[in-house]
Amino acid sequence: MSELRAKKIKLLLFDVDGVFTDGKLYFIPRTEPTDQSGPNTSSMIEVKGCHAHDGAAISLARLAGIKTGLITKRRSETVALRAHDLKLDYVYQGIQDKKGAFEEILLKAGIPASETAFVGDDVIDLPAMRASGFAIAVANARSEVKEEAHYVTPHSGGEGAIRDALDYILKAQGRLKETIERYIGETAPTPGN
């Protein structure tokens, strides 16, 4: 049943913390001198780690004609930079109502929910997962999220889970090997360089 759902996917959306990252948040004080009394530590730099396999997944999706995007409750400069670097089609940060954002993206993309996958890890992701045609939970997802998923990735968030999801989709569509070969061909160094 999950393979039939995966065959239809034209849009892959996902949460960030716990899915695109391992869920750990690191805050580093941004120290800026304000006056003679000492540094201003009121602002912080947020640091997250992203897995290279997930970045490759976004490139593979683009080659396969699958649009990508993220919907996350938090706002982060780090996420904005990574999303820009990966050329994600849709970036929604600071979103409490993930289902509402999901529906807005569908309207912009002109893609029905049945052709959309959503990857999540916690209960805030359930409304978007339930609205999607293919609900995916990462290996480290909360049990109630896994119970509602059509597919659970073998890897945890931040450890290649997005790549697992995309590979499953492309394999169901019979395009995994072809897409990987195109990716290798486009990224291989030219002879003599």
pLDDT tens-digit series, residues 121-143 = 999 999 999 999 999 999 999 99
CA dihedral sign, ordered 104, 110, 113, 116: negative
Position 166 in a domain: yes
Number of domains in the chain: 1
Position 8 in a domain: yes
Position 112 in a domain: yes
Position 43 in a domain: no
List, for residues 60-70, the tens digit of each pLDDT value: 999 999 999 99
Position 192 in a domain: no
**Spatial separation of the C-alpha atoms in residues 163 and 60, rounded to whole Å:** 9
Question: What is Dmax (Cα atoms) for the chain?
Answer: 66
pLDDT in tens, the chain (193 residues): 899 999 999 999 999 999 998 887 777 787 765 555 555 545 777 777 788 999 999 999 999 999 999 999 999 888 999 999 999 999 999 999 999 999 999 999 999 999 999 999 999 999 999 999 999 999 999 999 999 999 999 999 999 999 999 999 999 999 999 999 999 986 656 555 4
Position 90 in a domain: yes
Stated pTM of the model? 0.87
Q: Find out whether 48 and 78 touch, Cβ atoms under 8 Å.
A: yes
CATH number at residue 64: 3.40.50.1000
CA dihedral sign, ordered 125, 55, 64, 75: positive
Position 34 in a domain: no
Position 147 in a domain: yes
Tell me how crowded residue 30 is: count the other CB atoms within 10 A of its CB.
Answer: 12
Q: Which domain holds residue 79?
A: 2-23+49-187
pLDDT of residue 186: 67
